[in-house]
Structure formats: C-alpha cells, structure tokens
Amino acid sequence: MRIEEWFREGSRNRERQGNVIKGIRGAPDILPDETGKWQALEAVARDILDRYGYREIRTPIFERTELFVRGIGEGTDIVEKEMYTFEDRGGESLTLRPEATASLMRAYAEHTLGAKSSLTKLYLIGPMFRHERPQSGRFRQFHQIDVEAVGSPGPAVDAEVVALLHHLLEAWGLGGVELHLNSIGDRACRPAYREAFVAYLQDRRDALCPDCHLRLVKNPLRILDCKVEGCRQIAAKAPTIPGYLCEACREHLGKVRSLLDGLKIAYTVNERLVRGLDYYTRTTFEFLNPALGAQNAVAGGGRYDGLAEELGGPPTPSLGFAIGEERILTSLAAQAAPAEAPLTGVYVATVGEVGIELAMTLTQRLRRRGLCAALDLEGRSLKGQMRQANKDRFRYSLILGSEELSRGQVTLKDMLSGAQQEIPLAEADDRLASLPEREIV
Ligand code: HAM
C-alpha cells in the first residue's frame, strides 16, 4: 500500500473508531504487569539452553517470501493461508516470519555457522506471525523459543533434544503435559506410504472437504491435519506411516525410544502425529497440555534432514523444536495463583520545603549502589507520597523533613510494620545499601 493510501485508510479507520486507534486482533500487547513473567520464563530457558551448549541467534523478523514457500512447503496451511506477505518499495516479496526454523537454516548456511563443529546448537526467542483465526491460545503475533541442533543425523541428538524440551518444561514447573512421538519416515519410505494413503482416500473422495480435494492432488499428507470433522474421521481410519517405515527409519525410531526410556521420559507413540510443516523427516514430537482445550500443543518439533537442500544448500541433517510462550504462560497461570510481588527498594519522600535537589541526589546514589529507588517528581503531599510508595510496593521509605535535616537526621520507615526511626543522613546510603539486595528486609 502506498503511503498516501495508508493515510487515507488510517483516516477512515479513525472515523470508524471515533478517533481511537486500537491494536490488531490476535496481536495482544504484553502489559507491564505481565512482562516480569515473560522475563522469568526466558531467563530460565536461557540458563538451561546454556547448560546444553546452545547459543543464541537473532534473525530479522522478515525474510524473502521464497524462503518460507520452499522451506515450509507450498501445500501447507501456513504458506497457503497464513503468511503476512507484502511487496516492499523495491517490488520484492517479503514475509513476516511464521516460524523460525527456515530463517535459522538460512542464516546457518549464509554465515557457515557449521564450520567449527559437525553439530551446531542454536536458539532464537522472538515473535512469529500467522494470519490464523484468533481464538483462545491462537494468536496472529505469538512468541516462540525455537531450538535447533543442526548438522547431525544420529538418534542420540533426537533423544537429547527431546530431553532438553522435557527439562525446560519441568524447570518452569509445568505439570500434566504429555509427550507424543512418531516417525514420519524419509525420502526412501514415504512414497510407498503416500501411495497407500492416496489409494485409501480415493475411495472416500466424495466425503472430503473442498480443501482436501486439492490437497489430495497437491500434498495428500496434509489431509492428516485437516480440522474439518468429516476429514478427521476419514483420516483417523487411514493407514499410518509407521507400518511403512524402511529399516533405517525403524531403527532410528527404535534407538530414540530406547534412549528416552533410559532417561525415564514417558511418551506415547502417536502414529497420526504428522505436524503441519512439510520439512519433517523421521522423528516428530509434540508436548500437549490437555487442560488447554483445542489449542493444546505447548511445543512441537522434529527432524528435518532435507530442509537445507530444499533451500539450495548441502545436506545438513538437523532437528529442533519450538515452544509457544503464550501457551506455557497460560498453562502456568492456570496451575497456581501467582505469588504477590515482594516489597523491594526505597522511596525517598520529602516534606515541606526540603528541596528536590537533595532527594534526587540521594535517590541517584542509592540506585548506583544497586537499590531500586524512587522519589516524588510531582510535588505531592507527604500523604500522597506514602500512598504512592505503598502502591509501588516499596519496602522502606526515607523521609526528608526540614526539622530533622536541620539536625542532620532523616526518618527511615519500614513500610511493612509502619515502624520508623531517625538515622543520621550521612549514614543513610550505607544503612540502606548494606541491607540484602533488592528485597530489603
Ligand atoms: P509449530 O508446531 O508450528 O512448529 O509451532 C510450535 C509451537 O508454537 C506450537 O506448539 C504452539 O505452542 C506455538 N504456536 C504455533 N502457532 C501459534 C499461534 N497461532 N498462536 C500461539 N501459539 C502458536 C514450528 O513452528 C516449527 N518451526 C518447530 C520446529 C523447530 N521444528 C523443528 N524445529
């Protein structure tokens, strides 16, 4: 859209909404009361990913459209219906990333990240964009923690990746989740399965939805994740992939299973788990939280040994997963009432004519010494300042009154008990800074 059209469109919207511009449906704001939970979630993830040897990568949120079309697959719902694609001013087709794996593999090849080691461990945290119908647990902008182990074909990597995901969910305290595991074969054995699957569907063609008629020609395996009830019933009775696995794929799955058994990680083999992206080969898995309702996958992933070649690079067997952060946070919130934030820091209050200069200098000094500190910037009464200090959950307040100051004293008030005592101004910094960091008790 040209900029003039954008302004015109904008003014139409403003008329429609009584001049108030609202956010986009399915792309919620994350408000200050919630950001702490996101930070804590990501801090735990970074710590654990670090322990397993993963390093962070940050790629742009938009890429050439072709990357996703070739990577995710033309016949997938994501590419066919859900991508935010636009032409930039140079006439190039760009797309907001609907997922991170294709971007990560592009960056891996472009910067030869595999030069130092045959197995490269990478992770990315950030927003993804899919034009899906917004509903509970399904957004148009959502956030993933995406983890990829690039370069190695062995089943031990699959087992470690699943164990890492299991460890992350456990570290967040997420209970009641189920691991579903499957193998969807490879280039050698999938054609035979595909043939059997198509033959089964041809006999039931009339009962399929119009989209699945097209899928039958273009990309039949996608019928396995059609959401239309009639198609689901047909798919539920269709032949499944494991019966058609070649020897090498069967062995791979067997080894992954025995390693997971050894790690005491419980799973269910779900022969109908195919996942919605075309790049998968062999191992696929999802963690489900049944308590979430329809959108119950909290994380999903699998092996994608052919993706690098699909994107024009050399063979690079890899696997990984992505966690939906919104779904993790919703699951955790449903489990337990969040604890009230502890009282922290110092509020520096002023009384009467005491200048803001002294309060400001003192507050800055306390912040430099590592304390969370605030002062009144709006000339409020002492009562108003104390009300604010309580609202902002300060543990202490330091009250600067002209009478006490004339004697070189200030008042230290414990906001929990209400007890207060006079202390020498000259000792105030040391007294406050010597109390345990952040939560001053
Ligand atoms: P995915 O299954 O499309 O896989 O997404 C992974 C997770 O992202 C889902 O399990 C879900 O928790 C979350 N998610 C997906 N779509 C939405 C949405 N519209 N709203 C909220 N959350 C959503 C992938 O994206 C693959 N790239 C995973 C992967 C990495 N495979 C190999 N490596």
What is residue 336's predicted lDDT score, i.e. its pLDDT? Answer: 75
With a 6 Å cutoff on the Cβ, whether 326 touches ligand 1 is: yes
For residue 362, report the distance from its CA to the centre of ligand 1, in Å. Answer: 49
For residue 416, report the distance from its CA to the centre of ligand 1, in Å. Answer: 44
Interval 242-254 mean pLDDT? 96
Q: Is 80 exceeded by the pLDDT of residue 98?
A: yes
* Contact between residue 105 and residue 318 where contact means Cβ atoms under 8 Å apart: yes
Question: Which of 68-103 are b and which e, b meaning 16 or more Cβ less than 10 Å from the residue's Cβ?
Answer: bbbbbbebbbbbbebbbbeeeeeeeebbbbbbbbbb
Q: Is 60 exceeded by the pLDDT of residue 123?
A: yes
Q: How far apart are CA 45 and CA 52, in angstroms?
A: 11
The residue with tokens 């308590």 is 291
Which ligand 1 atom sits nearest the alpha carbon of residue 101?
A: 27
Token pair, residue 168, equals: 């992350």
Q: Whose CA is nearest to atom 12 of ligand 1?
A: 324
Q: Is 70 exceeded by the pLDDT of residue 28?
A: yes
Strand (E) positions, 111-162? Answer: 120-129, 141-150
Q: How far apart are CA 283 and CA 419, in angstroms?
A: 62
pLDDT, one tens digit per residue, over 401-437 is: 999 999 999 999 999 889 999 999 999 999 888 765 4
Pocket test residue of 277, 283, 292, 332 for ligand 1, highest count of atoms within 8 A of CB: 277
With a 6 Å cutoff on the Cβ, whether 71 touches ligand 1 is: no
Which ligand 1 atom sits nearest the alpha carbon of residue 287?
A: 10
With a 6 Å cutoff on the Cβ, whether 310 touches ligand 1 is: no
Question: Residue 426: in which H helix or E strand, if any?
Answer: helix 425-434
> Considering the chain, what is the average pLDDT of its residues?
92
Token pair, residue 221, equals: 């395996």
Q: Whose CA is nearest to atom 13 of ligand 1?
A: 324
Type of residue found at 70: R
Q: How far apart are CA 27 and CA 14, in angstroms?
A: 19
* Contact between residue 165 and residue 299 where contact means Cβ atoms under 8 Å apart: yes
Type of residue found at 181: L
Exposed, middle or buried, 396 (CB in 10 Å: 0-12/13-18/19+)? buried
Interval 4-19 mean pLDDT? 61
Residue 282 gets which letter from DSSP? E
Interval 258-287 mean pLDDT? 95
DSSP 240-275: -GGGG--HHHHHHHHHHHHHHHHTT---EE-TT---
Contacts of 382 (CB under 8 A, 6+ apart): 349, 350, 351, 399
What is residue 15's predicted lDDT score, i.e. its pLDDT? Answer: 53
